[in-house]
Amino acid sequence: MVETIPENKQTSVQIPPSIMEYMESPLKQLQLHARTMKVVVASQICGGAGLATGIP
């Protein structure tokens, strides 16, 4: 379910410039996604290796 903001209600959300760079650049989004996936894969491999050796 998507929340909608009423027309008469004003919001004052300040988005940091560092986040805006990623919002405005599809290339930066792809780079962030690739970096994130590398971290996820590495953590899954390390977690699996730990389980295989009996480290809880």
Tell me how long the chain is. Answer: 56
Chain-centroid distance, C-alpha 9 = 28
pTM of model > 0.75: no
Q: What separation, in Å, do the N-terminal and C-terminal C-alpha atoms of the chain show? A: 38
Q: What pLDDT, on a 0 to 100 scale, did the predictor assign at position 33? A: 97
Asked if 28 and 21 touch (Cβ cutoff 8 Å), the reply is yes
Task: Report the percentage of the chain scoring pLDDT > 70.
Answer: 79
Q: What pLDDT, on a 0 to 100 scale, did the predictor assign at position 4? A: 63
Label residue 52 by pLDDT band (50, 70, 90): confident
Asked if 21 and 27 touch (Cβ cutoff 8 Å), the reply is no
What confidence tens digit (pLDDT) does each residue in 13-29 have?
A: 888 999 999 999 999 99
